[in-house]
Structure 1
Amino acid sequence: MTRTTLVTGGSGFIGQYLVSELVTRGRKVRVLDVRAPSRSSPAVEFVEGSVLDTARVNDAVAGADEIYHLAGLPGMWKLDRAEFHDVNFIGTRNVLAAARQRCEVPFLHCSTESILFHAPQPGDVAAEEATLSVDDMPGPYTRSKMLADELALQAAASGFPVIVGCPTMPIGPHDHNVTPPTAMLQYFLGGGSLQLYLDFMVNFVDVRDVAKGLVLAMEKGRVGHRYVLGGESLPLSRVLALMATVSGRRRLLMRVPGCIAELSARFMELKADHVTGRAPSATVEGVRIARRATALSVEKARCELGYAPRPVEPLLQEIIAHMLGVSPSEVLEHA
């Protein structure tokens, strides 16, 4: 019989690729989201609703054979910061509670790399195994995601089959909502001749690889374990050099210290909070995450799941071509 898979947040950037991957594998997919999917399919059932609506969540969970929980509030800024806690933590609690009423339904919780960065620990502890708390988080977004992560792992420890996938910075075409990694690439691609930047370790990954990685984690992952689903870890300065080569657009780049970047972000946030009401181009939490970012290894996912992400340079060529509205071959000609 065809398995029914529930994907919360299935209309989002990662979600749409996960849904496509599941349909390709012959699954009947049910999407719970506040927005309808951008592409329709007879194999996809759309349930409009929020993870904060417990009745809607219970309806969506009913009859599901497995659950991928992706619904969340990304980004680092909201006029009401409490929205992060509501959607990311309380929403996760609602979906987990509904799922646990169905006993042994496999559950994949989609977390984030942002909660994994840590100072070196004795024995070279892998990012997935690091012991961090909510108090270690640099802002409301990461606190809400850490609380949700803890909730998922507590459920696993009590015997519920939960596995956690931690995507790094997914990029790819059709990012209609402009997630933070895409916004960063757009900023550096479309900026002026002089661009200021904070150099930090970034880990871009093809969103299609993340979707496959989530399925692999559900199928092969160990209950109660985290898996980093990323690509190559590179300094941002290296990424900007690649972008310049691939796009043919040269910029004068000026590196700024972390303390200056954080101070600038604070002023941008104040303006957003009290004047414009629009998301700033940088946030204090975002800068703090960048300053603590370290290289993340996908070795655990590679060994245990068979996860095999693609290299970053061809991916950047594809994304830059998409942003410029040209074919990948034209981008290569400009390089």
Structure 2
Amino acid sequence: MTKTAFVTGGTGFIGANLVRLLLQEGYKVKALVRPTSKLDNLQNLDIEIVKGDLNDPELADKMIGCEALFHVAALYSLWQSDKDPLYQQNVLGTKNILAAARKAKIERTVYTSSVAAIGVKEGSIADETYQSPVDKLIGEYKKSKFWAEQEAQNAVKLGQDVVIVNPSSPIGPWDIKPTPTGDIILKFLRRQMPFYVDTGLNFIDVRDVAQGHLLALEKGKKGDRYILGNQNLTLKQFLDQLSEITGIPAPQSTLPSFIPLTVAWIDEYVLAPLGKPPFLSLDSVRMSEQKMYYDASKAVRELGLPQTPIPTALKNAVDWFSKNFALDFKYNSAR
């Protein structure tokens, strides 16, 4: 019998890849989208669009008939002024949709958290057993993802079957917004990165992240969290791989942290209050001063999480950005 999955966040990066995977695997898909959402990432897909939002009081009625819930949607913002909407969408929205799933008798839920909720283990690599104190998490976004994950754990205590996945930094197609990682790739392709900052991230192919969601549904342990990641790289190593793929020279000089900190402070505390669109957030600069490294071996071992080589993911991302952002960019496909 064909199963039906209810998916939030299907218009976004991870969600768009997950919806395609679910269709490929024979699922019927209901995708919750806000009335104001752009549907570009869901065009021409054989899915049912359900209008609404995470705090919709009638959400349970819209979920009836679905066996699985993938709660992928979240508000992402590093602006300190967005503290209230981050809490409203990420924390209260998660609490509401989990309650709706209980009411609709959803059999199993996969909740998309983030490594942001885990935090950074200074000078080391964090796994699922590590948790940074919430007051040490940089920025309201990370804190909102922490508290949203607590709502998922509260639902488990009520008997709900919820599995938590924590993606790191995905790379690949359908990064329409784009994400911060996608923005790095896009700026690199446009030759707008004369400098780099001394930071590090864990990267993973976005299609592996989508596969990790489905594997969590099939194999994950109730109440457990699984880091969906692959390779830890410094930003310099990441850019060097991009250079190898594209032939575009990678930046060779680091940017001293006091420069972006100064720009961000002016943006958030001088220009933004005057109504000027801010460019750089203080929290993004503070985060870049850390190396955000993670160990995904639990998901590989217990779920069978794929580990597509990062250069493959990067090439696919480059191809997608080149096609969809009208870049005047050509490179030797033999690279």
Matched to 1:296, the amino acid is: Y
Aligned-partner SS, 1:26: coil
RMSD of aligned alpha carbons:
2.6
TM-score normalised by L of structure 1: 0.88
CA displacement 1:124-166 (0-9 Å, x = unmatched): 8852111334322211111111110111122223422111111
Matching of residue 53 in structure 1 with residue 40 in structure 2: no
- In the other structure, the counterpart of 1:3 is 3
| C-alpha distance 302-115 of structure 1, shift in aligned 2 (>3 A) | same
Match of 1:304 in 2: 302
Q: Partners of 2:307 and 2:270 in 1: how far apart?
A: 39
Query: 1 CA distance for matches of 2:223 and 2:31?
Result: 24
2:44 alignment counterpart: 40
Shift of 1:241: 1.4
Task: With the length of structure 2 as denominator, give the TM-score of the two structures.
Answer: 0.88
Deviation at 1:231, TM superposition (A): 2.1
Instruction: Give the partner amino acid of 2:43.
Output: R
The 2-side partners of 1:277 and 1:61 are apart by 41
Partner of 1:148: 148
Rounded to whole Å, the distance in 2 between the matches of 1:155 and 1:334 is 50
CA distance in structure 2 between the aligned counterparts of 1:310 and 1:93, rounded to whole angstroms: 33
Aligned counterparts of 2:62 and 2:291: Cα–Cα separation in 1: 36
CA displacement, residues 276-316 of structure 1 (integer Å, 9 cap, x when unaligned): 55352x32222222323332111000000011120111222
Give the number of aligned pairs: 328
Larger displacement relative to structure 2 (259-268 or 311-320): 259-268
With over 3 angstroms needed to count, the CA separation of the structure-2 counterparts of 1:7 and 1:324, relative to structure 1, is closer
Q: What's the CA shift for 1:17? A: 1.1
What residue ranges of structure 1 are gaps of 5+ in the alignment? none
- The match for 1:244 is 243
Amino acid of the residue matched to residue 45 of structure 2?
Answer: S
Offset, 1:259: 4.7
Q: Quick one: which amino acid aligns to residue 227 of structure 1?
A: Y
Question: Does the 8 Å contact 1:10/1:16 carry over to 2?
Answer: yes
1:139 has 2:142 as partner: no
Q: For the Cα contact (< 8 Å) 1:246–1:334, is it kept in 2? A: no
Matches within 5 A, 1:311-330: 311-325=309-323
User: How far off is 1:39 after superposition?
Assistant: 2.0
The aligned amino acid for 2:320 is: H
Distance 1:333 1:208 in 2: 21
The answer to whether the 8 Å contact 2:6/2:68 transfers is: yes
Deviation at residue 41 of structure 1 after TM alignment: 3.1
Shift of 1:54: 2.0
| Distance change in 2, residues 1:257/1:226 (3 Å) | farther
Deviation of 1:251 after TM superposition, in Å, equals 4.8
Give the secondary structure class of the aligned counterpart of 1:50.
coil
Tell me whether 297-306 or 26-35 shows the greater mean CA deviation.
Answer: 26-35
Once the 2 structures are TM-superposed, how far is the Cα of residue 273 of structure 1 from its aligned partner?
1.9
The verdict on how the C-alpha distance between 1:32 and 1:324 changes in structure 2, with shifts beyond 3 A counting, is closer
2:222 counterpart of 1:219? no
Kindly provide the amino acid, as one letter, of the partner of residue 170 in structure 2.
Answer: P
SS of the aligned residue for 2:331 comes to helix
Letter in 2 for 1:41: L
- In the alignment, the residues of structure 1 paired with residue 125 and residue 143 of structure 2 have an alpha-carbon distance, to the nearest angstrom, of 21
Q: Does the CA contact (< 8 Å) of 1:248 and 1:334 recur in 2?
A: no
Conservation of the 8 A alpha-carbon contact between 1:74 and 1:179: no
Does the aligned pair in 2 maintain the 1:247–1:334 contact within 8 Å? no
Shift of 1:275: 4.2
Cα distance in structure 2, aligned partners of 1:5 and 1:161: 15
Cα separation, 1, equivalents of 2:200 and 2:215 = 26
Q: Deviations over 1:199-222 (max 9, x none)?
A: 211222211111111110111011
> Taking structure 1 as reference, are residues 40 and 320 closer, same or farther at Cα in structure 2, changes over 3 Å only?
closer
State the partner residue of 2:174.
174
Alignment of 1:207-286 (within 5 A): 207-270=206-269, 273-275=272-274, 277-280=276-279, 282-286=280-284
Q: Which residue of 2 aligns with 1:288?
A: 286
Structure 2 CA distance for aligned equivalents of residues 301 and 149 of structure 1: 18
Change beyond 3 A, Cα 1:251–1:29: closer
Native 8 Å contact 2:60 2:104 kept in 1: no
Q: Is the 8 A contact 1:198 1:261 kept in 2?
A: no
User: Following the alignment from structure 1 to structure 2, what is the Cα–Cα distance between the partners of residues 317 and 125?
Assistant: 26
Q: Structure 1 residues 252 and 297 mapped into 2: Cα distance closer, same or farther (>3 Å)?
A: closer
Any stretches of 5+ residues in structure 2 without a counterpart? none
Contact 2:119 2:131 in 1 (8 A): no
SS of the equivalent of 2:42 reads coil
Tell me, yes or no, if the aligned pair for 1:89 and 1:148 is still in contact at 8 Å.
yes
- Asked if the contact 2:203–2:229 (Cα under 8 Å) also holds between the matched residues in 1, the reply is yes
